[in-house]
Structure 1
């Protein structure tokens, strides 16, 4: 008996779509409606994945096939969704979500392209990577995101982010220390997505919009800031274009 052998392997189940095209994995539920408006499809076009319960829509955009899935919350669910997508055939994924800034100069509505992540979530440790491999964004997907942000006149900053399981335990000490370590922002899924993607040998990158600011003396939310939604819409268009380039 191989004690390291897993008991349940991810697989396609009856009713699952077959995916041989890029996927836009949405990590913030309101972005599903944003993307529906950007891509101009009807609400009735949304379908439901049974396990885990998830909205998705597959469509033709500029002569190419694209699927939008979302929206998992936190690393365990994000990893589960990615495993299921891979079992359905997905090999190229762009994750699109939002994040909290750890830099005083990184403001609401600014764009972050994560390249690596500090993992403070419990999922990644269950995916041991071979020696010489580390969890990171796929270079081709990242280049596509950078290119399409530039073409849409969207400045971005690329670098390391922090992934946490505990949104209500983001302490001032950690925000200060990680900011001094040049960690740009905090969110709840990317390190696990990077790890699963590298473990399963698929291509995945991410685009994040700053939704709130943690580096000041007080938490500054941006969810009601019109500029957050304006740039989120522009970022959604860039994320779609990046998918179509893959």
Structure 2
């Protein structure tokens, strides 16, 4: 037997008293967006073995059984511990939401980005068999995400991302290298989540919001920018609407339960990576 295919001695599993969760799970990296989305669908935290590491929310009332929410997560090892446990609890379609740093002038603060592939430079994905220089998400979920954004009137970018464990080692040389490979952004979790999903045979895709810019080889943070906060909120809500099948599938408009400011048409068009 190929040793790389052997299970680890410590295996993810559903313990006694832990919940069986819905097949669709939204993994949310920013903690404030996680809390907001949980409140929006009357989801409450449930007890499980990893509660000290991240939260698991299950909705009640009319959204019961539609999806689960989990997070916050920071970095590949943390996110992989989460996705492994979520799969053991019943997750089969993983939808990730987070922020990223732009490596392209075509992706500015507040813009949306769908990872079409990820270049792994974190230390976790290499422990999963089949990982090469490039990892990909689930094609069907990406298509559903694209259609959902386009149907809501939101522009987005689609292209490669670079995943790193070391945000303080995003050097000009490395940025230039991944720009030459076509990467639009850098973040800390996506390639590892793709590696686990491919290894475990589940589906996974992601939606990111540009929070800062590095393409000019200097850092331009946008974390306090009201535009980022507004677009992150609406993007997270839109993704949740897609995951739980709101809108026309539930006989009402997705905008009925969005923030008071309502939906906003994002800048840019639905285009591929540039």
Moved more, 119-128 or 175-184: 175-184
What is the Cα deviation at residue 140 of structure 1?
Answer: 1.2
Give the aligned partner of residue 56 of structure 2: 56
Go from structure 1 to structure 2 and tell me whether the alpha carbon gap of 1:167 and 1:84 turns closer, same or farther (over 3 Å shift). Answer: same
Give me the whole-angstrom Cα distance separating, in 2, the residues matched to 1:72 and 1:125: 19
Contact preservation (8 Å) 1:141, 1:242: no
Contact preservation (8 Å) 1:10, 1:84: yes
Give me the whole-angstrom Cα distance separating, in 2, the residues matched to 1:28 and 1:89: 23
Go from structure 1 to structure 2 and tell me whether the alpha carbon gap of 1:28 and 1:185 turns closer, same or farther (over 3 Å shift). Answer: same
Give the aligned partner of residue 181 of structure 1: 181
Q: Which has the higher contact order (CA 8 A, sep 6+)?
A: 1
Q: In the alignment, does 2:25 pair up with 1:26?
A: no
**Match of 1:116, SS?**
strand
Give the aligned partner of residue 201 of structure 1: 201
Q: In the alignment, does 2:124 pair up with 1:123?
A: yes
Give me the whole-angstrom Cα distance separating, in 1, the residues matched to 2:182 and 2:129: 26
Q: TM-score, normalised by structure 1?
A: 0.89
Q: TM-score, normalised by structure 2?
A: 0.81
What is the root-mean-square deviation of aligned Cα atoms in Å? 2.3
Deviations, residues 180-214 of structure 1 (Å, cap 9, x unaligned): 32101000000000000000000100000000001
Give the aligned partner of residue 83 of structure 2: 82
What is the Cα deviation at residue 82 of structure 1?
Answer: 0.5
What is the Cα deviation at residue 5 of structure 1?
Answer: 4.8
**Match of 1:95, SS?**
strand
Give me the whole-angstrom Cα distance separating, in 1, the residues matched to 2:194 and 2:131: 14
Unaligned runs of 5+ in 2: 247-274
Give me the whole-angstrom Cα distance separating, in 1, the residues matched to 2:142 and 2:198: 14
What is the Cα deviation at residue 48 of structure 1?
Answer: 4.6
Moved more, 50-59 or 170-179: 50-59
> Of Structure 1 and Structure 2, which has the larger fraction of its residues in strand?
1
**Match of 1:161, SS?**
strand
Unaligned runs of 5+ in 1: none
Give me the whole-angstrom Cα distance separating, in 1, the residues matched to 2:163 and 2:129: 18
Go from structure 1 to structure 2 and tell me whether the alpha carbon gap of 1:139 and 1:226 turns closer, same or farther (over 3 Å shift). Answer: same
Contact preservation (8 Å) 1:24, 1:94: yes
Contact preservation (8 Å) 1:145, 1:238: no
Give me the whole-angstrom Cα distance separating, in 1, the residues matched to 2:163 and 2:78: 14
Go from structure 1 to structure 2 and tell me whether the alpha carbon gap of 1:109 and 1:30 turns closer, same or farther (over 3 Å shift). Answer: same
Deviations, residues 26-72 of structure 1 (Å, cap 9, x unaligned): 122222133235x2537xx2335432621121115667611110012
Count of residues in Structure 1 that have an aligned counterpart in Structure 2: 241
Deviations, residues 73-118 of structure 1 (Å, cap 9, x unaligned): 1111111111101111110110000100000221100001002111
Contact preservation (8 Å) 2:102, 2:210: yes
